[in-house]
Structure 1
């Protein structure tokens, strides 16, 4: 997904998420987070001595989102508000590591079930932290361009017919919701 970070090792990709493979995904992802020079220190500071509580909670969270288990009880925004020093590049790295880990473990139709909520969560957290007018980091925009299928714009959406890139890329926004924020081109 991004050549500046090492890719996740490919394991046997599965077609359907289950509690067991979601657990493997979560633990594999957080192994990468902990080893990452940008994210590792943030997570280690925040979760010092609490990893054994956090990881099962994340398994429950993702099972609730992907399998509809409805067992997770918590507030994602509230849980992330106290994190100090978080910048846009942290979200870009988190997204890269998560989406790459998902892609290495799931067939595309199953992977999308994780990718859509991950993108919504990242956007929601970025909006709450940086406001409606933040600039999406270039590496995150590149990641979105690569993995996010594009929708056609609605008839009532404005579009720029003078955009020199208009014929080179599909029009519209990445799924599942419009990404709010300015791109590097804006």
Structure 2
């Protein structure tokens, strides 16, 4: 039996894989280090299995469950989590809350819909991967971090104002879609009146 299935205590962020388009295994591998609970949408089940990742729950509608019942034996102790009307993300988050998880990494969620996750941030700490960009929320409206010289993406509702302070000075950014910001090496501070998300770009060699 894989060590992946020793008893879990929900202390590590769960891994929810919705879509692997534009995602490389090298991005996911570090997230598996501490043996998280892994939930995968039915469309990505075989891709994730081919990566050698042990799945705990496959988010699946009734038709998929009937057609792929053999997975319950072949990938034991995987289970199906029933999903209706394509509500894969909603069902996975409700499951994680019900099982007292405190955090999750979500793979393959469109960053343009990040605002739809904000009602869940009271219950779960969420990090989202969309392609090669990793998004994390700033729930308090204030954040500081050391960056290498790089480009980041800021995401919030359109026209949200975010102030950035660093060695390049202080400026206020009005958020539009795909608001890309260059930050110098060193500490950058961010201030806003509401929730916003910071996207960090990861270049993965293929």
TM-score for both structures, normalised by structure 2: 0.30
* Greater relative contact order (Cα < 8 A, sep 6+): 1
Higher strand share: 2
CA radius of gyration, larger in: 2
TM-score for both structures, normalised by structure 1: 0.32
Higher helix share: 1
